[in-house]
Amino acid sequence: MTDSEQQIDQLRRRLGWEAGGPLGQISTQATDAVFSILSSAVSWIRQSGEEHPLISVLIAFEAGFAVGRWGGDRA
């Protein structure tokens, strides 16, 4: 190989490494999917809270209690 071919190969490898290649596309698609699911869940929770506020408060207390029990012992 000549110096110019080696340099071209080196630049191609560097471009592939910095561009992320297919990994960048996969991570973008995964992020979009997670964001879509989370936004749907938030809108469902908001709608449920507007329709049944008392039930939403009770579920929030239960969730808070469960998270508090899940934590480690302190003291």
Please state the rounded mean pLDDT for residues 10-26.
76
Helices (DSSP H) in the chain: which residue ranges? 3-19, 21-51, 53-70
Note whether 56 and 49 are within 8 A (CB).
Answer: yes
Instruction: Give the integer Cα–Cα distance in Å for 33 and 27.
Output: 10
Per mean pLDDT, which range of 2-11, 40-49, 64-73 is the poorest?
Answer: 64-73
Give yes or no for residue 75 having a pLDDT over 60.
no
Does pLDDT of 11 surpass 60?
yes
Predicted confidence (pLDDT) at residue 1 exceeds the cutoff of 70: no
Q: Where are the domains of the chain?
A: 3-70
